């Protein structure tokens, strides 16, 4: 009888411990759910903890719900029709509200098959060209992208819908500031904007899986080639001595060798800054 009581007592204690353990597990899980989903995970006490999780874009701004049908028609009639097939690129082009990146007077032309002026002698590229160049980069969810020539920020936003991180440089300070504000308001938390000369790239953030240029130069800036990661891809417009521009696709293999190909004739605004100085010297 005593043995039976002892066994029952032990079973009772064991069951009590299980109940207590389960209780604390539930409390712990509840506390985890209360955590801010946008909080960047990092160990403040670890001096070696340098990398922080980059937050993806949000789509809470009203602009994402506006001109929805126009975006669908743009993708179907201008982009998919011209054989852009990457589903991530098509999704990005359907998602990014291009009308938020053009001047107010041009909003009703935002989804037309053409570039549009954004002021200060700069333009927002034709939607098809944006899609074509983005597809050429073969972006992945963990890609780190460098863009030369932010403009209004549209190309950066398209890349940010696919890639983990986008770093974009604009030589015109006024455009850089307005693009940074616009991208932040639209919820592009994985885009960093810097006012500066894109010729030099962004050394502190290199290497990059992909580099995209949206202004034409007479030569490919050497710093950009250096900052391209082995296995990376770069596309940018290059102007030849006769004034013709071509989109040039550059692939750096795992050994660091460069493979270059002209893929399409285009017309972009010229790249300014250091590249112009070097071009002038080469002509002397």
Alpha carbon distances (Å) from 68 to 63, 65, 249: 9, 6, 32
- Judge whether residue 281 has pLDDT over 70: no
Q: Which of 125, 143, 152, 178 is catalytic?
A: 125
What confidence score (pLDDT) does residue 2 get?
54
Q: Would residue 42 show up in a list of annotated catalytic residues for this protein?
A: no
User: Which of 99-108, 132-141, 269-278 bottoms out in mean pLDDT, i.e. has the lowest?
Assistant: 269-278
Q: How confident is the model at residue 30 (pLDDT cuts 50, 70, 90)?
A: very low
Place of tokens 């015109």: 172
Superfamily of domain 62-283: Vaccinia Virus protein VP39 (3.40.50.150)
Q: What is the pTM of this model?
A: 0.81
Q: Where are the domains of the chain?
A: 1-32, 62-283
């Amino acid at each position: 009888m005593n043995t039976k009581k002892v066994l029952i007592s032990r079973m009772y204690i064991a069951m009590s411990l299980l109940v207590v353990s389960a209780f604390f597990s539930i409390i712990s899980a509840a506390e985890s759910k209360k955590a801010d989903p946008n909080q960047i995970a990092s160990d403040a006490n670890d001096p070696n903890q340098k990398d922080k999780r980059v937050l993806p874009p949000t789509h809470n701004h009203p602009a994402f719900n506006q001109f929805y049908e126009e975006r669908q028609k743009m993708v179907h009639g201008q982009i998919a029709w011209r054989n852009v097939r990457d589903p991530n690129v098509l999704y990005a082009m359907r998602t990014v509200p291009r009308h938020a990146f053009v001047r107010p007077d041009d909003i009703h032309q935002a989804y037309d098959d053409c570039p549009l002026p954004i002021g200060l002698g700069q333009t927002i590229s034709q939607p098809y060209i944006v899609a074509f160049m983005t597809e050429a980069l073969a972006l992945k969810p963990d890609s780190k992208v460098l863009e030369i020539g932010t403009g209004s920020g549209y190309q950066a936003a398209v890349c940010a819908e696919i890639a983990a991180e986008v770093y974009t440089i604009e030589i015109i300070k006024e455009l850089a500031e307005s693009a940074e504000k616009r991208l932040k308001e639209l919820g592009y938390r994985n885009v960093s904007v810097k006012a500066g000369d894109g010729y030099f790239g962004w050394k502190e953030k290199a290497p990059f899986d992909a580099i995209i240029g949206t202004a034409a130069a007479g030569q490919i800036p050497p710093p950009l080639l250096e900052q391209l990661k082995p296995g990376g891809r770069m596309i940018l417009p290059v102007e030849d001595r006769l004034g013709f521009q071509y989109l040039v696709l550059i692939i750096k293999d795992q050994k660091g060798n460069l493979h270059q190909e002209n893929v399409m004739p285009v017309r972009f605004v010229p790249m300014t800054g250091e590249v112009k100085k070097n071009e002038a010297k080469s002509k002397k």
